[in-house]
């Protein structure tokens, strides 16, 4: 199961909190174990044992307490062991010995005995780090002085505080490490792809569509990046196609201008010849009129192609769809074509019998497609060549074809012959009066019928144009 960024962030934050708590608890348990099993009780026992030794040493050496150096020499090894501070005060309040103040000891400074020996909550609050123990110095069964022994901190309190500080410190370090890791993950999964998206958007705004968004992970941001990349690619294709269309449109306008100018110039020339009386006999006159008629027909076909194409582009070409028996439909369309080609069946032939299935079609538009393909084949086929029409059924389609053994189509032009404004071998098209729109019109008509159209060809061997219409299921 793959988690999204939202789920991963929630899980990450929960893990940070849980890990932090676990680290603190484990640290506390660990240090508690170390304190009480690894030295705390022993430390406390040792401190108390040392305290007893100090008090015993005071009583044993009380006779030389006035000799500070000698007395200190006896006590210092014990006091230094646990960093203790010893004061001995006689019953009258005279300071006999202070392990940290030799001068006061030698001068026999008076102190407030009651204050020195006081141990109560107020004192502990004022001196939270002091661990004080007071005991009388007994000589010959008589209390002659009071010994006050102070350590800088209660060992138990010290170890507990150290344990707490260590535990929270360890947890804090782990917490910071987890936050750093989380920040890195967020930067990797959020900030990096967002930066790529920002740069790509800025480049698109400036007209540069080559900046690729490379982030490809399967999370939410990855899907956004993939969608953005798809949009960029499609937009780039669209702009490239639009630029190609614009270029082709300009070429088409230039070509059509040439195609219009050529027959018009011919018509004007022949009309001028007639007006000047060049055709002096009926035969020449008739030949001039025939040429003028042919040029006028060429103009009419060209203008009709432009009109049909413009209506198809605008989606305004009307269609009258009806159910037809394919055999009857094709026989009605092909019979006039056979008559136009005359009795020479080599030039145009129909492979019969034709299949009889039901298709939904516009009679006039299908006739237009077949006529266009046959006329196209005739333009590029030698007089002794052939043009053949075939039809067959395959699966749920009626497939028709117009084949010839003419000059064929080059491999470079074949994939593009159905593109808008594309004219392969433009000079050849002009020689035959074509504007490069006939096949585009055929393609759009067939696609409106829900069919498909394609071509196969080998240069020098001829071409075959196929188109298929869906077969309507009989009820």
Encode pLDDT of 236-274 as tens digits. Answer: 888 887 777 777 667 666 666 766 776 788 788 878 888
Q: What average pLDDT score do residues 405-418 get? A: 86
Among 135-149, 274-288, 458-472, name the most confident range. Answer: 458-472
Tell me: pLDDT of 17 over 80: no
What pLDDT score does 464 carry?
94
d(CA 96, CA 471): 126
CB of 194 closer than 8 Å to CB of 219: no
d(CA 60, CA 79): 16
Closest by alpha carbon to 302, among 444, 429, 409?
A: 429
Q: What average pLDDT score do residues 105-109 get? A: 83
How crowded is residue 287: how many other Cβ atoms within 10 Å of its Cβ? 13
What pLDDT score does 466 carry?
96
pLDDT grade, residue 214 (50/70/90)? Answer: low
d(CA 401, CA 464): 7
Closest by alpha carbon to 149, among 130, 125, 126?
A: 130
Closest by alpha carbon to 215, among 196, 187, 200?
A: 196
Q: Can you spell out the DSSP letters for 354-394?
A: PP--EEEE-HHHHHHHHHHHHHHHHHTS-TT--EEEEEEEE
Output 371 or 191, whichever has higher pLDDT.
Answer: 371
The phi, psi pair for 373, rounded to 5°, reads -65, -40
Lowest average pLDDT, out of 19-23, 269-273, 354-358, goes to: 19-23
Please report the domains of the chain, with CATH numbers, ordered by start residue: 39-153 (3.30.450.20), 237-301 (1.10.287.130), 318-470 (3.30.565.10)
pLDDT grade, residue 156 (50/70/90)? Answer: low
> What are the Cα distances from residue 336, in Å, to 332, 367, 391, 415, 465?
8, 10, 17, 31, 20
SS3 120: coil
Q: Would the pTM of this model clear 0.75, i.e. be above it? A: no
d(CA 63, CA 77): 19
Closest by alpha carbon to 341, among 389, 407, 303?
A: 389
> What are the Cα distances from residue 119, in Å, to 23, 51, 91, 133, 143?
38, 17, 18, 8, 19
220-275 and 282-313 helices, crossing angle to 10° = 160
Partners of 50 in the beta sheet? none
Tell me: pLDDT of 143 over 80: yes
Q: What average pLDDT score do residues 376-382 get? A: 86
What pLDDT score does 347 carry?
82
What pLDDT score does 100 carry?
85
The pLDDT tens digits of the residues spanning 283-300 come to 878 888 887 887 787 777
From first CA to last CA, the distance across the chain in angstroms is 50
pLDDT grade, residue 470 (50/70/90)? Answer: very high
Beta strands 387-394; 348-350: pairing state: parallel
Tokens standing for 268? 């004007």
Q: What average pLDDT score do residues 36-65 get? A: 72
Q: Across all residues in the chain, what is the average pLDDT?
A: 78
pLDDT grade, residue 330 (50/70/90)? Answer: very high
Among 105-114, 122-131, 188-197, 377-386, name the most confident range. Answer: 377-386
Tokens standing for 176? 């910071």
Among 45-49, 216-220, 318-322, name the most confident range. Answer: 318-322
What pLDDT score does 432 carry?
47
pLDDT grade, residue 30 (50/70/90)? Answer: low
CA 122 and chain centroid, separation = 68
Within a 13 Å sphere around the CA of 253, how many CA atoms are in the beta-carbon half? 5
Tell me: pLDDT of 144 over 80: yes
CB of 461 closer than 8 Å to CB of 408: yes
Output 473 or 138, whichever has higher pLDDT.
Answer: 138
CB of 183 closer than 8 Å to CB of 177: no
Partners of 136 in the beta sheet? 146
Lowest average pLDDT, out of 153-157, 316-320, 356-360, 391-395, goes to: 153-157
Within a 13 Å sphere around the CA of 281, how many CA atoms are in the beta-carbon half? 2
How crowded is residue 124: how many other Cβ atoms within 10 Å of its Cβ? 14
DSSP 8-state symbol, 4: -
Output 189 or 453, whichever has higher pLDDT.
Answer: 453
Closest by alpha carbon to 322, among 364, 354, 353, 356?
A: 364
Tell me: pLDDT of 428 over 50: no
Tell me: pLDDT of 32 over 70: no
CB of 455 closer than 8 Å to CB of 464: yes
pLDDT grade, residue 429 (50/70/90)? Answer: very low
């Amino acid at each position: 199961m793959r988690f999204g960024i939202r789920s991963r962030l929630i899980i990450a934050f929960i893990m940070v909190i849980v890990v932090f708590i676990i680290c603190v608890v484990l640290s506390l348990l660990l240090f508690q174990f170390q304190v009480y099993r690894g030295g705390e009780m022993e430390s406390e026992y040792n401190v108390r044992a040392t305290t007893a030794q100090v008090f015993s040493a005071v009583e044993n050496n009380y006779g030389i307490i006035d000799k500070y150096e000698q007395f200190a020499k006896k006590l210092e090894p014990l006091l230094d062991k646990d960093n203790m501070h010893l004061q001995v005060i006689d019953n009258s309040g005279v300071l006999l010995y202070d392990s940290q103040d030799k001068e006061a000891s030698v001068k026999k400074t008076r102190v407030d005995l009651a204050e020195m020996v006081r141990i109560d909550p107020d004192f502990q609050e004022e001196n939270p780090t002091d661990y004080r123990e007071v005991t009388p110095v007994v000589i010959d069964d008589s209390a002659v002085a009071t010994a006050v022994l102070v350590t800088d901190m209660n060992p138990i309190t010290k170890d507990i505080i150290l344990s707490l500080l260590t535990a929270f410190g360890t947890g804090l370090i782990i917490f910071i490490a987890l936050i750093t890791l989380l920040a890195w993950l967020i930067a990797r999964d959020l900030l990096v792809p967002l930066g790529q998206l920002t740069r790509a958007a800025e480049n698109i705004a400036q007209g540069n569509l080559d900046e690729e968004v490379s982030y490809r992970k399967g999370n939410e941001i990855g899907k956004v990046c993939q969608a953005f990349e798809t949009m960029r690619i499609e937009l780039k294709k669209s702009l490239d196609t639009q630029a190609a269309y614009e270029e082709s449109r300009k070429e088409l306008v230039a070509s059509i201008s040439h195609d219009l100018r050529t027959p018009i110039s011919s018509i004007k020339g022949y009309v001028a010849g007639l007006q000047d009386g060049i055709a002096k006999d009926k035969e020449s006159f008739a030949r001039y009129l025939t040429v003028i008629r042919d040029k006028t027909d060429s103009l009419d076909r060209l203008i009709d192609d432009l009109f049909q194409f413009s209506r198809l582009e605008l989606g305004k070409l009307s269609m009258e769809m009806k159910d037809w028996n394919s055999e009857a439909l094709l026989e009605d369309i092909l019979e006039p074509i056979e008559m136009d080609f005359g009795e020479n069946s080599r030039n145009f032939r129909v492979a019969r019998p034709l299949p009889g299935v039901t298709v939904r079609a516009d009679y006039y538009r299908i006739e237009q497609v077949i006529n266009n393909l046959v006329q196209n084949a005739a333009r590029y086929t030698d007089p002794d060549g052939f043009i053949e029409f075939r039809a067959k059924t395959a699966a749920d389609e009626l497939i028709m074809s117009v084949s010839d053994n003419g000059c064929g189509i080059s491999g470079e032009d074949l994939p593009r012959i159905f593109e808008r404004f594309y004219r392969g071998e433009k000079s050849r098209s002009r020689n035959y009066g074509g504007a490069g729109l006939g096949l585009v019109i055929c393609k759009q008509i067939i696609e409106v019928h829900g069919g498909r159209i394609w071509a196969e060809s080998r240069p020098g061997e001829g071409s075959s144009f196929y188109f298929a219409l869906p077969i309507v299921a009989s009820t």
